[in-house]
Amino acid sequence: MKVAFASTDKVHIDEHFGKAEEFYIWNIGPEEAAFSRIAQLKVEEGYIDDKIEARTAVLADCALVYVGEIGGPAAARLVQKKIHPIKSKEQEPITVVVKKLQEVLKGNPPPWLRKAILKGERPS
């Protein structure tokens, strides 16, 4: 599954969803995980709806997005697009979260995560 991380330093999950200009995309499975690409965007200030839409567009193929903070309307828009937002409580390093996700995937993932994993396998 593809997972996006909002980061200001390329190491920690510490960026607000609405301020992020880059998302670091990883392909994560139970046995393997690899950095895939950087999704970059620039949005004009003052256009909140456009900012959210621009971010959801670059994250369209992701099942999860980890952020430092996210507002309610943005979170709702992500969920509508079948992208599950997750707030990082302690600005965790991306690599630590990747390993934690892999451990969960090796076991019995919770229903919401199983649904997210299947995102790429279902026709839209």
CA angle 30, 34, 35 (to 5 degrees): 140
Domain residue limits, the chain: 2-121
Query: pLDDT at position 76, please?
Result: 95
Contacts of 119 (CB under 8 A, 6+ apart): 1, 63, 82
Q: Specify the CATH number of the domain 2-121.
A: 3.30.420.130
Residue 48 has pLDDT above 70, yes or no: no
Query: pLDDT at position 53, please?
Result: 86
Stated pTM of the model: 0.89
Query: pLDDT at position 44, please?
Result: 58
